[in-house]
Amino acid sequence: MDQLEWEGIPREKIPWYPTVDYEKCDGCKTCFEFCPHNTYDWDEQNTRPVAARPYNCIVQCSNCAGLCPSQAIAFPPLSMLKEMKDRWHGAD
């Protein structure tokens, strides 16, 4: 795992990782080949990516979603991170 915490919050408490819409995914492997954090495995049988190590994904990174030609990858809204940070540390 590359990131142990974010803004003082343990990484495993933060639900920031990719969700793949398999109805949209065309199996191009762009996400799998791009991700430098080893978040994805490739399911050869079903020819699709699997977020096998979701907590390897760096909080606030969504580059794989931006590169996906079929727009099959989604992340939580950034507002979720702000809300989580406010709850964890107390809102100012």
**Domain definitions of the chain by residue range:** 5-75
Nearest to 19 by CA among 47, 54, 46, 45: 54
Fold of 5-75: Alpha-Beta Plaits (3.30.70)
CA nearest 65: which of 37, 12, 25, 15?
A: 25
Mean of pLDDT values over 17-35: 98
* pLDDT mean over 8-20: 96
User: Model's pTM, two decimal places?
Assistant: 0.89
Q: Does pLDDT of 58 surpass 50?
A: yes
Residue range 25-31: mean pLDDT, rounded:
98
Q: What is the mean pLDDT of residues 12-22?
A: 97
Q: What's the angle, vertex CA 6, arms to CA 88 and CA 72, rounded to 5?
A: 105
| Section 58-74 average pLDDT | 98
